[in-house]
Structure 1
Amino acid sequence: MRLPPDSLAFQMLGAAAAVRAVSEGTALPQAIEDAAAQLRLDRVRDAATRGALQDIAYRTMRQFGTARALVTRLVTRPPGAQVDSLLAVALALLVEQAPGQRQDKDSQDAAQGASGRAGYSTFTVVDQAVSAAASEPKTAHARGLVNAVLRRFLRERKALLAEVNRDEQARWNLPPWWLRMLREAYPEQWTDLAASVNVRPPMTLRVNTARVSVKQYQTDLANAGLAGTVVGPQAVRLVRAVPVTQLPGFAEGAVSVQDAGAQLAAPLLEVADGMRVLDACAAPGGKTGHLLELADIDVTAVESDPQRATRINENLARLGKEARIVVGDASRPADWWDGQPFDRILADVPCSASGIVRRHPDIRWLRRETDIAKLITEQRRIVSQLWPLLKPGGILVYVTCSIFPTEGEEQARWFGAQLADAIRLQAPGQLLPGTRTTTPSAGEQGEKDSGHASLPSDHDGFFYARFQKRA
């Protein structure tokens, strides 16, 4: 049975394929691309179907711990990977609407999906999940099982959710090791942080104030039927997320999509015209573009992944900016450095990404506890290798999109002790997702913060530290 692409059944099949790929180790964006290719979806012609598939896959990843626990509880014999993933998708959609689930206003808004789609009725989810199973030869035998499992969940959902939620992974949709690290680092905040990972993040814009003022851009948004709130010097948070094609001035480079917390990085470098600046681990180029908007500078952007490096070019082309883009390992400057020292270095290093998991809900299921020690070693290697490239008097900013102190404050202290001639300056320190922040980190000499402690009102999780090389 061939399903129409605009049917929920077709979109659930694609989402199930993406979810299955994540379970096998593929990052969700690539898994969605692969699923769309397998279903022969054209990027332009089938944009609505691709968008719905993506929306469902992301919803499932946010509820994956609960959904997997329910499948285990409700299915006595392994149904096979395809059926297992289809059930997880359907149950995630049903759990999202279940009474008693955590539903603050943000999560209620999130239930409308990335493109403003409303939550599906329970009848529609069950009916379309059964149709999805029946449409594939490898899963047709399980259509009765899918129907029975989903209907049982609807009949007994309160009791079933209470039962599976006794398991912390199912309740919080986070691995046990992740929860343990949250408890240890934030004993009074860990429940809020655990809950925040399933709240859809805002869509925040960075206004290029060299082209248009923030106030004028708010007027431009209003004229386009959109509304935004100023949450930072250049940051405007949209009331409702929209495709970038609907943003006034986007194609012309007047505005970019960038989290408010990420927008702190470029100003912390305090760039001025004529400076030579290194942006290490630069893809996809948001911070690179921001730096070039702030001053007339010479930027070298280093990225180890050739495909991600092309995105830097694409983003800069839209902004009308240029940088020297190098495909290389930031921890091996001998392979790409021209020997000329830099006035400023931005070290936005690889990390657990625990601070941006609300935007990338697959990260929690792909990361392993053993990854953290490897990442810490890599972060130290990168910064230690970049430090000799900095001029005396120059500034290096260390950034991670992590909320784990082992990748933040503990690393900053290590750098302060190990880097020759390093003076630690004031910086925002640890930013926690949402509206919560910790106290900005103090500089070694107690320098004035120059306004950098003025934090946006909503942001992802980041850690910032700054070091100056003694002149």
Structure 2
Amino acid sequence: MGKQDAADRRNPRWHAFQVLQEVDRGRRLGVLPPAGLSSKDQGLFRELVSGVVRWRSWIDWQIDRLLSKPLHDDEVGYALRQVLRIGIYQMAFTDRIPPHAAVSTAVDLASGLRLPHNLVNALLRRFAAEERHPEPPRLAERFSVPDWFVRRIKRQATGRHPEDLEATLRWMQTRAPLTLRWDTRKVEGPFVREQLAAKGIKSVFSPWAPFALILPEFRGAVQEIPGFEEGWWRIQDEAAQIVTTFLDPQPGERVLDACAAPGGKTEDMVQRMGGQGSVVAMEFKRERMQSLEELAAREKIVRVVRGDARHPLLPEATFDRILVDAPCSGSGTWRRHPDGKWLKKDEDIPAYLERNLHIIKGLTPLLKPGGVLVYCTCSILEEEDEEVVRTALHEIPDLKLDPLPDLLGLPMRSGMFRSPLVEGGMDGFFSARFRKVG
């Protein structure tokens, strides 16, 4: 590969190439735009990285059908595929980059990396010349999701209309809106909305989450949103805020957030409790505790403890409410974090079921009699959701299902919540509420 020079440091496509190579090696996608890029090029960098990861299987299918022979299974072949992905993504999914520019910039990128640029030029020109690009016959490539996920969703959709399956997969490729949760102790929602409007940022109030402001069209950097420096709001999806509504923490209560990092729901609890009571934020992974410790430094009622929710070293029968924001596939947030679908494996799913059942069993003794435990995931797979609840009810006699309230028409199934998968809507969340008998 070629060495980086000053021109590379100003080239968003070169930076996107480097990050995409790391993602293919298993790195998480959460990276900031590199320093030295203009605001416009930072936007292009984010678009290329997230877009290529989102549509990777579809793009690879297009590349493979246009190749006269397969790419070599070596470093050069992998790098060539990455350059071709960047070029095809620009032509297939962006409006602002003309095809000739997508081709020429990909050729320049390949040349700078000392890759066979003639192959890049020829393949991308063939793609650009097509009036319509054929669609892959298999769902995994057509909607760019792993094969194992398609198999699980098909089993889950047994007996339903085939269009429901494709609608779910199509939803996963839509853009997730940015949603804010304003801090009622600092500002009121109408004031925040007025400040956004003054900057030309469209926003709407959530009909279900009381402190949520949805920015359906915003594509810029969050630092550009009024109130960023002042701490008027935090980024938190509408569905995540609804979970705290189901928990319903009250002033003066003792609450446990059992899988707390990064702390968005913990902070939401503090806000709803008016700073009165006690919130214990527990997290197992030390590397994820910094944001919780920073929250505890700001909020006196928060105490951070490191612990395994399956074996919590906390006093029994002391908590009024417990939130289990359980480890899961994260499939309900793959619109927002598309790298997640390539990092998870089929064998992870039954492991989550077993782990989360142990978490509920480990935490039940900490609840006071009559206390509430809310189990939630950001998954759309029933094996991580309803199946965990059914098994918990069968194996833990101290718990009963406490049907969730009807919130202005939100869909409930057997007293449990699964967020509607609609374009422009909230993330895919699941919630169920238990109450301890006694």
- Report the TM-score range of the alignment, normalised by the length of the smaller protein: 0.7 to 0.9
TM-score normalised by the chain length of structure 2: 0.87
Alignment-derived partner of residue 285 in structure 2: 305
Match of 1:391 in 2: 368
Question: For residues 76-129 of structure 1, what are the alpha-carbon distances to aligned partners after superposition, in whole Å with 9 as ceiling and x for unaligned?
Answer: 1425211111112221222214xxxxxxxxxxxxxxxxxxxx632212111111
Mapped contact 2:56–2:85 kept (Cα < 8 A): yes
- Cα separation, 1, equivalents of 2:248 and 2:148: 38
Structure 2, unmatched stretches of 5+, are none
Contact 2:203 2:214 in 1 (8 A): yes
TM-fit CA distance, 1:143: 1.0
Tell me the distance in 2 between the aligned counterparts of 1:122 and 1:91: 9
Of residues 192-201 and 295-304 in structure 1, the stretch that sits farther from structure 2 once superposed is: 295-304
Q: 2:191 aligns with which of 216, 221, 231?
A: 216
Are positions 1:156 and 2:130 aligned together? yes
Distance in 1 between residues matched to 2:296 and 2:48, nearest whole Å: 31
Q: Which residue of 1 aligns with 2:82?
A: 85
1:298-377 paired onto structure 2 within 5 Å: 298-314=278-294, 323-334=302-313, 337=314, 341-377=318-354
2:91 aligned partner, one-letter code: L
Q: 1:256 to 1:364 in 2, by over 3 A?
A: same
Matched AA of 2:391: W
Over residues 117-154 of structure 1, what are the superposed CA-to-partner deviations in whole Å (9 max), with x where a residue is unaligned?
x6322121111111111112xxx241111111111111
Identical residues among aligned pairs (%)? 31
Q: Partners of 2:405 and 2:38 in 1: how far apart?
A: 40
Aligned mates of 1:215, 1:414 — CA distance in 2: 44
CA distance in 2, matches of 1:291, 1:253: 17
**Matched residue, 1:169:** 140
Q: Output one character per residue of 1:422-459: Cα deviation in whole Å (capped at 9) or x when no partner.
A: 12111279x9xxxx96434328xxxxx9xx99999921
Structure 1 position 461 matched with structure 2 position 428: yes
Give the corresponding residue for 1:57. Answer: 49
**Distance in 2 between residues matched to 1:455 and 1:320, nearest whole Å:** 35
Supply the distance in 1 between the matched residues of 2:152 and 2:383 (Cα, whole angstroms). 10
| Superposition deviation, residue 248 in structure 1 | 2.8
User: Per-residue displacement from partner, 1:352-373 (whole Å, max 9, x unpaired)?
Assistant: 1111110011122222211111
The DSSP-based 3-state class of the residue aligned with 2:19 is helix
The answer to whether the 8 Å contact 1:15/1:56 transfers is: yes
What's the offset of the Cα at 1:340?
6.8
Looking at structure 1, the residues matched to 312 and 320 of structure 2 have their Cα atoms a distance apart, in angstroms, of 16
1:237 deviates by 0.7
Q: Is the 8 A contact 1:427 1:441 kept in 2?
A: no
For 1:100-111, list aligned pairs within 5 A. Answer: none
Distance in 1 between residues matched to 2:66 and 2:318, nearest whole Å: 62
* d(CA) in 2 for partners of 1:28, 1:395: 35
Distance 1:359 1:453, change over 3 A: closer
Partner SS, residue 350 of structure 1: coil
Per the TM alignment, residue 316 of structure 1 is displaced from its structure 2 partner at its CA by 6.1
The answer as to whether partners of 1:15 and 1:57 remain within 8 angstroms in 2 is: yes
Please identify, of 142-151 and 74-83, the stretch whose mean Cα deviation from structure 2 is larger.
Answer: 74-83
SS in 2 for 1:397: strand
1:67 is aligned, of 39, 59, 63, to 59
Query: For 1:173 and 1:316, how far apart are their aligned partners in 2?
Result: 40
- Report the AA paired with residue 7 of structure 2: P
Note closer, same or farther for the CA distance 1:272–1:180 as it changes in structure 2 (3 Å cut): same
**Length-normalised TM-score, structure 1:** 0.81
Q: Distance in 2 between matches of 1:22 and 1:269?
A: 36
Alignment CA distance shift 1:227-1:50 (3 Å): closer
Cα distance in 2 between the residues matched to 1:377 and 1:11: 43
- Given that 2:327 and 2:356 are in contact with CA atoms closer than 8 Å, whether structure 1 keeps it comes out as yes
**Structure 2 CA distance for aligned equivalents of residues 134 and 428 of structure 1:** 60
Structure 1 residues 239 and 156, CA gap change in structure 2 (3 angstroms): closer
Distance 1:47 1:156, change over 3 A: closer
User: 1:25 offset after TM fit, Å?
Assistant: 2.2
Distance 1:364 1:130, change over 3 A: same
- CA RMSD, Structure 1 to Structure 2 (Å): 2.9
**Alignment check: 8 A CA contact 2:415 2:432 kept:** no
Contact 1:91–1:150 (8 Å) recurs in 2: yes
- 1:381 is displaced (CA, Å) by 1.2
- State the 1:51 CA deviation: 4.9
User: Which deviates more, 80-89 or 57-66?
Assistant: 80-89
Tell me whether 71-80 or 260-269 shows the greater mean CA deviation.
71-80
Q: Name the residue aligned to 1:4.
A: 7
Alignment CA distance shift 1:147-1:245 (3 Å): same
Contact preservation (8 Å) 2:277, 2:301: no
How far did 1:339 drift? 5.6
Cα separation, 2, equivalents of 1:84 and 1:454: 36
Of residues 426, 439, 447, the one that matches 2:412 is 439
Supply the distance in 2 between the matched residues of 1:157 and 1:168 (Cα, whole angstroms).
22
Distance 1:331 1:172 in 2: 36
One-letter amino acid of the structure 2 residue matched with residue 4 of structure 1: A
Rounded Cα–Cα distance in structure 1 between residues aligned with 2:45 and 2:144 = 21
Question: Number of aligned pairs?
Answer: 418
CA contact (8 A) 2:8 2:14 kept: no
8 Å CA contact 1:22, 1:366 repeated in 2:
no
How far the C-alpha of 1:52 sits from its partner, in A, is: 3.5
1:230 has 2:208 as partner: no
Q: Secondary structure at the match of 1:261?
A: helix
| 2:156 match | 185
Residue identity opposite 1:25 in structure 2: G
For residues 237 and 405 of structure 2, what CA distance do their matches in structure 1 show? 15
Structure 1 182/209 Cα, relative in aligned 2: closer, same or farther at 3 Å? same
Q: Aligned equivalents of 1:47 and 1:463: distance in 2?
A: 40
- Partner in structure 1 of residue 174 of structure 2: 199
| Aligned residue in 2 for 1:291 | 269
1:266 paired residue number? 244
Question: Using a 3 Å threshold, how does the CA distance of structure 1 residues 230 and 316 change in structure 2: closer, same or farther?
Answer: farther
Could you tell me how far apart the structure 2 residues matched to 1:243 and 1:174 are?
27
Tell me how far apart the structure 1 counterparts of residues 434 and 252 of structure 2 sit (CA, whole Å).
Answer: 21
Query: Separation in 2 of the partners of 1:157 and 1:470?
Result: 64
Looking at structure 1, the residues matched to 195 and 229 of structure 2 have their Cα atoms a distance apart, in angstroms, of 14
- Maintained 8 Å contact 1:426/1:440: no
